[in-house]
Amino acid sequence: MRVLLTGAGGFLGRYVDRTLRARGFRVWSTAAEPARRIHLNLTDPGDVATLVAAVQPDAIVHTAAISDVASCEADAAATERINVEAVAELAAAADSEGAWLVFFSTDQVHDGEHAPYADDAAPAPLHAYGRSKAAAEGAVREVGDRCTVLRVALAYGDSPTGRRSATEMVLEAARTGNPAGLFTDELRSPIYAADLAEAVARILERETAGTFNLGGPEALSRHAFGERVCAAYGLDPATIRPVRAADLDLAPPRPRDLRLVSDRLWRALDVEPHTIDDALAALANGADR
């Protein structure tokens, strides 16, 4: 299968790229770095269709996005262009080529007031990032049914820069000696990036269509997750400190409870995702390097 993968230089894209290649997929990867990958300018309305026509993929996996919440709030035009318009163009190009499309959305399409969220829960985003992803979901579904929309939870693992994942925030605090404040009242369903990549591979192999949550098997606060990271790496838990989001004047507001029910996808794919402790043990032992 010929796969066009966007955002291969990013945290999640790196895992997907590696997993697909190991499974025998022929992968064309786009990223700014390294130079060996294909360049794709998502700000250029014509670049998406041109690249898809040149590669003629059987499937497209779209992980690229502006994902920083503050950046999305600061630049509405760029967020609309990259996170919504480019996705619509990619969906149209995929439909034109008869290619399957896997689109990475986010748990932050929800407002955090009605957890746990099922796969079919209607979006109610609180901020620009969430709104852009909800709009992009709609653009993908409008084109056709040869697609999979994944609402991805808080992901952890090893990123190319060492600073992109939930795990690495805790490790950075330990390395620098500057305690990190982690919320005790913000609940998530953390997903090990290796499990996420395995899910993508099986979705492509089985052409599993629909909108699915993609979270891990356990739900906990960011602070509790940090404590588990410290335990796995033998770090002093004093390198993280408990903070309540409710006590802070956060702008934009953050969803407080984004627990996801992801059982339907894991069953459909015959995958047993790692527990947090097992995944962190593998990471601490260098399994992802």
How far apart CA 7 and CA 159 sit, in angstroms, is: 13
Q: Give residues with Cβ within 8 angstroms of 132, minimum separation 6.
A: 66, 72, 79, 80, 83, 84
Q: What is the structure's pLDDT at 129?
A: 97
- 237: nearest Cα among 156, 178, 174, 158: 174
- Proportion of the chain above pLDDT 90, given as a percent: 75
Task: Give exposure, 134-162, as e/b (b: 16+ Cβ within 10 Å).
Answer: bbbbebbeebeeebbbbbbbbbbbbbeee
Q: What is the structure's pLDDT at 247?
A: 85
How far apart CA 53 and CA 56 sit, in angstroms, is: 5
The pTM of this model reads 0.94
Q: 239-283: per-residue pLDDT in tens?
A: 889 999 888 887 888 899 999 999 999 999 999 999 999 999 999
Q: 130-148: per-residue pLDDT in tens?
A: 999 999 999 999 988 899 9
**226 close to 83: Cβ distance less than 8 angstroms:** no
**SS3 sequence, 71-122?**
HHHHCHHHHHHHHHHHHHHHHHHHHHHCCEEEEEEEHHHCCCCCCCECCCCC
For tokens 């990271």, what's the residue?
Answer: 229
How far apart CA 285 and CA 232 sit, in angstroms, is: 9
Q: What is the structure's pLDDT at 222?
A: 93
Q: 21-33: per-residue pLDDT in tens?
A: 999 999 999 976 5
